[in-house]
Structure 1
């Protein structure tokens, strides 16, 4: 099963590139680095889980 690579931050709607930096929880809620670090302190606002760096895919 592959991760769903969501195209935008769920907080600020900033575009997220598949090869760029993003953070996810175990439910695949997805956030940009500034929202993760500054707004949410690495805690998912939806489920309370830890936000960790999303794996990057190779560019095509």
Structure 2
């Protein structure tokens, strides 16, 4: 099951569980669409993989399996440059 992290790993922007702007790689690294497009060139700085839109968990299932509240940020060079 996806963790559904609450923020962009690059700019720390809030990404709600139903955000259409969340992007993930195959390792579930989570970034906002803006950072993926403007800072990261469409490649994950952790694994080098592609990004896809993060699936949205239906609201009735979020009650049973809520999104994570643990914020993750990492000091990526591409993020510090902006």
Shared fold (TM-score, shorter chain, > 0.5): yes
Unaligned regions of 5+ residues in structure 1, if any? none
**CA RMSD across the alignment:** 0.9
More helix by share: 2
Moved over 6 A (4+): none
Number of matched pairs = 59
Tell me which structure has the larger Cα radius of gyration: 2
Q: 1:14-25 alignment to 2 at 5 Å?
A: 14-21=13-20, 22-25=22-25
Deviations 1:5-51 (A, max 9, x none): 00000000000000002000011000001001111121001110001
> Is the counterpart of residue 59 in structure 1 residue 59 in structure 2?
yes
Give distance in 1, aligned partners of 2:25 and 2:11: 17
- If asked which structure has higher relative contact order (CA below 8 Å, sep 6+), I would say 2
SS of aligned partner of 1:8: coil
Name the counterpart of 2:79. Answer: none
Give distance in 2, aligned partners of 1:11 and 1:50: 16
The two structures have a TM-score, normalised by structure 2, of 0.68
SS of aligned partner of 1:37: helix
